[in-house]
Amino acid sequence: MIYTTEVPHLNSGIRSAVTLGKFDGFHRGHQKLVECIKQKSGENCRTIIFTFDLPYKAYQQKCMPKLLLTYEEKREVAEALHADILAECPFTEELMNMEPEVFVKEYLVDRLHAEYVAIGSDFHFGHNRSGNPEVLSALGEKYGFTVEIIEKERDGEREISSTYIREELEQGRMEKVQKLLGYPYFIKGEIVHGRQLGRTIGVPTANLIPPPMKKLPPNGVYVTQSSVGGKVYSGITNVGYKPTVKENFIGVETYLFHCNEDLYGQEAEVRFYKYLRPEKKFDSLSELKTQLDIDVETARAFFEKEYGQALELRLS
Ligand SMILES: Cc1cc2nc3c(=O)[nH]c(=O)nc-3n(C[C@H](O)[C@H](O)[C@H](O)COP(=O)(O)O)c2cc1C
Ligand SMILES: Nc1ncnc2c1ncn2[C@@H]1O[C@H](COP(=O)(O)OP(=O)(O)OP(=O)(O)O)[C@@H](O)[C@H]1O
């Protein structure tokens, strides 16, 4: 897959099937659009996910919103979805104020040579959001490309959207988040040294510092699975500041079941399945240990119920 932060300019003779939007999370609705463009792909037709980077105002005000997927993760997911090109264009003032027809002519027609464009029924673009599916369809007729307006993927009464998923994530409803995304929410990072107190109570842990832009679930303890060095471990993870030992930065700390390996410096992907309880301040590490024993049992029961097999180590 080609990744670019510019508007691609395809060689003459090469056409494209394009989908447009922000695509934070690449949730089930977004995946539906990607499937549509993939059906059009061929020898002379590239599939292009054309996404807009953060709102211009966010840059100006330096208030970066937290994202479901970091830039790097977005690239990885787009790659896994088998798109040919991911174009992540800065959402400049120019782009924001562009008349819909200028966007269509200069970008979709002159540069991308679009023959097919798939969008959701609520997609808006250009000056004052005046570009919408009807406008795009009319411009498609004028410039000779097909526009397919995809009915929005729903979860019961509500349409699936990145906003909906962020709301559910903020409530720690990880099963719902997984259902809406179509994959479990994950946090990635390098395993770093903690204070190494965990092992003194028989609970060695893998600590990672989440990327600053990544949206985190609420502080608390979760049933997770972690992928490290090609192996998948079931486990329990604490997100927070460890009030018992008073950490001064937010961490994602996992007790990996059946793991005796030295994992420092390795990249881990922690997948969140279920919220268990809030983070608590304990009077001693041994009281914390008593609670952790209960958490392990709850996680074991969860894996047994959901997956039949308990805590076996798997190769990913
Ligand atoms: C599954 C899990 C749950 C935890 N729950 C809490 C908690 O409720 N309160 C708390 O203060 N620390 C909690 N911790 C963090 C412990 O305080 C921490 O693991 C211990 O102090 C060792 O930290 P270290 O790796 O920096 O040495 C939890 C850690 C894990 C892995
Ligand atoms: N549930 C859905 N089903 C089908 N298409 C969707 C769905 N949600 C969004 N889309 C389409 O996917 C593209 C990218 O969506 P975008 O990320 O901009 O919106 P969103 O997921 O609704 O996020 P937000 O909540 O931030 O508005 C757009 O064309 C949009 O219309």
> What pLDDT sits at residue 315?
45
CATH number of 184-315: 2.40.30.30
Compute, in angstroms, the gap from residue 9 CA to the centroid of ligand 2: 25
CA 27 to chain centre: 8
Return d(Cα 226, Cα 188) in angstroms, integer: 9
Note the CATH architecture for domain 2-155.
3-Layer(aba) Sandwich (3.40)
**Is the shortest distance between the CB of 256 and ligand 1 below 6 Å?**
no
Q: Which is the closest atom of ligand 2 to the Cα of 30?
A: 12
Q: Is 72 in the pocket of ligand 2 (CB under 6 A)?
A: no
Active site positions, annotated: 253
ipTM (interface pTM): 0.95
The finding on whether 279 has its CB within 6 A of some atom of ligand 1 is yes
For ligand 2, whether the C-beta of 149 sits within 6 Å is no
pTM > 0.90: yes or no: yes
Count Cβ atoms below 10 Å from residue 131 Cβ, excluding itself.
Answer: 23
2-155 against 184-315: fold identical: no
Burial of residue 179, with CB atoms counted within 10 A of its CB: 0-12 exposed, 13-18 middle, 19 or more buried: middle
Ligand 1 pocket: which of 242, 270, 286, 291 to mutate (most atoms within 8 A of CB)? 242
| Per-residue model confidence as pLDDT tens for the chain (316 residues) | 999 999 999 999 999 999 999 999 999 999 999 999 999 998 899 999 999 887 666 767 777 789 999 999 999 999 999 999 999 998 888 888 999 999 999 999 999 999 999 999 999 998 988 999 999 999 999 999 999 999 999 999 999 999 999 999 999 999 999 999 999 999 999 999 887 777 778 888 999 999 999 999 999 999 999 999 999 999 999 999 999 988 889 999 999 998 988 899 999 999 999 999 999 999 999 999 999 999 999 999 999 998 776 555 454 4
Tokens of 128: 């004052």
Identify the DSSP state of 70. Answer: -
Name which of 181, 186, 154 is nearest 165 in CA terms: 181
What is the residue type of 262?
D
H-helix or E-strand spanning residue 40: helix 28-40
Q: Whose CA is nearest to atom 15 of ligand 2?
A: 21
pLDDT for residue 183? 96
Segments making up each domain of the chain, as ranges: 2-155, 184-315
